Amino acid sequence: MLEILNRINAVLWGPPSLILLAGTGLFLTFQLKGLQFSKLWYAFRLAFTKDKEDAGAEGDVSNFKALMTSLAGMIGNGNIAGVATAITLGGPGALFWMWLVGLVGMATKYAEALLAQIYRVKNDYGEYSSGPMYYIERGIGPKFKWLAVLFAFFAAFAALGIGNGVQSNTIADVMDNSFFVPGWVTGVILVILTGLIVFGGIKRISSVAGVFVPVMAILYIGSSILILILNYDQIIPAFELIFKHAFTPVSAAGGFSGIVVAQAMQHGVSKGVFSNEAGLGTVALIAGNARTTHPVKQALVAMTGTFIVTIVVCTMTGLVLIVTGFWDASGGLLSGVEHDPGLEAGALTSAAFGASLGVVGEYIVSISVIFFGFSTIIAWYVYGTKCFEYLFGLRYVAVYGVIYITATFLGTVMDLSTVWAFADTANALMMIPNLIGLLFLYKVIRTETQKFFANPVERINM
């Protein structure tokens, strides 16, 4: 199974998909005149300050809670295990390609959230439903419903992997290694906790995310900054390695075969997408629930999530791995810091933290993995159910809930490498229909944005 998935991923994440992903981000950046850079400060103001006008607008949750739910889905083990996997398989240069896909991906994320607000609908429960399937069908036209169905099917399926199986698998691995808790016990605990939260609906999920995400981020980022301070003399050399190996191969050493530039690009881009989800369309599945007086406002708020995840959280993980020497897949022959070459994913990041902060550092990573992973599980439940609702209607959403919770348990006893490979496959399959939809609707994105910023009142508020 693993060999088959790896072959599929080699095709799905080959040059055509990477060109489509990066090309869409660059195209939208051009159409929006670099909005992710020129309006970034305004976007953060919208995200973290209360807007009295938005409080009375149509929607189910606040802009902030919508962002926190989205971040709960993004700030997961892709930022810990995913970054470590990208750097060990693609070298330090992989972090550069993660930055690049994150920066252009901010325009993509903006576009997804904007269209989510424009084409959202109310379901029979009085809650808003949104996502790529709605803006593909309602925006491009009914003739493209097949493309909308493909996205919804792939996304509902992907939620069981990237949002669930990968997370529960990594949590179980950490619980076993750090706290000696058997995988099946972790599975039972996750099933109970997940069930209690997800069956409370979007408002309970967003409330939990609004508490979880800030606490998790502060703990993890604060610890990372402390490690960088302790290893301050390695920060500049770390950046030199990142930029050097983004364009030149990593040399072979001992039994280590080296890393070519193509590997740095592939792993940096694929794991970058896995961590910030730009291009996958997931933010559109929650952005439509936000209360806002204008779609552009929520789109700007959603855009900040990609910056926080990629430029801040992923960078912290990557720099910690590099300054401590734990990026080296040869076990230290290249970095000069000897370590177990068999370490991978979250275990490698934990070892890097432990090298500077001792056992406290290892426990910080372990706790972060557990809470990051759990928040991702509950956020992706929202995504999966939105897609399942589109495909089969509200009547059968409870069926998906049972499937989802079952997958949570199964993920704790599956092989890690197979789960990661499956997650990469699912990402690509939901990304392609979404990007096609964005390209078809670029005129709507551009026009709505221009109208908003042409309004004198909005310019004053900025």
Residue 44 CA, distance from chain mean position: 19
Provide the mean pLDDT of the chain: 85
CA angle (145 as vertex; 144, 151 as ends), nearest 5: 100
- 189 has pLDDT over 50: yes
How far apart are the C-alpha atoms of 114 and 105, rounded to whole Å? Answer: 14
pLDDT score of 336: 66
Whether residue 313 is predicted with pLDDT greater than 70 in this model: the reply is yes
> What is the average pLDDT across 184-207?
85
pLDDT value of residue 42: 93
Give the tokens for residue 133.
């399937």
Give the model's pLDDT for residue 176.
86
**Residue 6 located in a structural domain:** no
| Nearest of 274, 285, 168, 214 to residue 71 by alpha carbon | 214
Count of CB atoms within 10 A of residue 460's CB? 7
- The answer, as to whether pTM is greater than 0.95, is no
Q: What are phi and psi of 441, to 5 degrees?
A: -105, 20
Determine how many CB atoms are found less than 10 A away from the CB of residue 355. Answer: 20
Indicate whether 253 pLDDT > 60. Answer: no
Query: Letter for the amino acid at 219?
Result: L
360 has a pLDDT exceeding 50: yes
* Residues 98, 275 contacting (CB under 8 angstroms): yes
pLDDT digits (tens, 9 = 90+) for 139-173: 999 999 999 999 999 899 889 887 888 889 888 88
State pLDDT tens for residues 66-87: 788 777 777 766 677 778 888 8
pLDDT given at position 340? 66
107: CATH: 1.20.1740.10
Give the pLDDT mean for 202-227: 83
Instruction: Identify whether 11 is part of a domain.
Output: no
How far is Cα of residue 179 from the mean position of the Cα atoms in its chain? 27
Give the rounded percent of residues in the chain with a pLDDT score beyond 90. 37
pLDDT (average), residues 396-404: 91
Lowest mean pLDDT among 39-43, 76-80, 184-188: 76-80
Residue 42 is assigned to a structural domain of this protein: yes
* Among 187, 188, 195, 182, CA closest to 412: 187
Between strands 128-129 and 121-122, the pairing is antiparallel
Residue 14 lies in a domain: no
Q: Which pLDDT band holds residue 257 (cuts at 50, 70, 90)?
A: low
Evaluate if residue 103 carries a pLDDT over 80: yes
Residue 328: pLDDT over 60? yes
d(CA 383, CA 283): 9
By the 8 A CB rule, do 281 and 100 touch? no
Does residue 391 have a pLDDT over 80?
Answer: yes
- Whether the predicted pLDDT of 310 surpasses 70: yes
Residue labelled with tokens 């910080």: 364
Q: Using 50, 70 and 90 to split pLDDT, how confident is the model at 460?
A: very low
Boundaries of domain holding 139: 28-249+257-329+339-461
| 5 domain-assigned | no
Size of the chain, expressed as the number of residues it contains: 462
Q: 332: which residues sit within 8 A by CB, 6+ positions away?
A: 325, 338, 339, 341
Q: How many domains does the chain have?
A: 1
The mean per-residue pLDDT over the stretch 386-406 comes to 92
In a domain, 22, yes or no: no
Bridge partners of 129? 121
Q: Mean pLDDT throughout 287-315?
A: 90
Top-ranked range on mean pLDDT: pick from 66-75, 170-179, 252-261, 444-453: 444-453
**Does residue 3 lie within any of the structural domains?**
no
Q: What is the 3-state secondary structure (H, E, C) of the chain?
A: CHHHHHHHHHHHCCHHHHHHHHHHHHHHHHHCCCHHHHCHHHHHHHHHCCCHHHHCCCCCECHHHHHHHHHHHHCCCHHHHHHHHHHHHHCCHHHHHHHHHHHHHHHHHHHHHHHHHHCCEECCCCCEECCHHHHHHHHHCHHHHHHHHHHHHHHHHHHCHHHHHHHHHHHHHHHHHHHCCCHHHHHHHHHHHHHHHHCCHHHHHHHHHHHHHHHHHHHHHHHHHHHHHHCHHHHHHHHHHHHHHCCCCECCECCECCECHHHHHHHHHHHHHHHHCCCCCCCHHHHCCECCCCHHHHHHHHHHHHHHHHHHHHHHHHHHHHHCCCCCCCCCCCCCCCCCCCCCHHHHHHHHHHHHHCHHHHHHHHHHHHHHHHHHHHHHHHHHHHHHHHHHCHHHHHHHHHHHHHHHHHHCCCCHHHHHHHHHHHHHHHHHHHHHHHHHCHHHHHHHHHHHHCCHHHHHHC
Residue 177: pLDDT above 90? no
Average pLDDT on 382-386 reads 92
Q: Which residue has the higher pLDDT, 275 or 217?
A: 217
Instruction: Please check whether residue 120 is in contact with residue 134, taking contact to mean a CB–CB distance below 8 angstroms.
Output: yes
The C-alpha atoms of residue 376 and residue 188 are separated, in whole angstroms, by: 17
**Is 12 within a domain?**
no
Q: How far is CA 97 from the centre of its chain?
A: 15
Percentage of the chain lying above the pLDDT 70 cut: 89
Q: Which of the residue ranges 53-57, 96-100, 200-204, 440-444 would you say has the lowest mean pLDDT?
A: 53-57
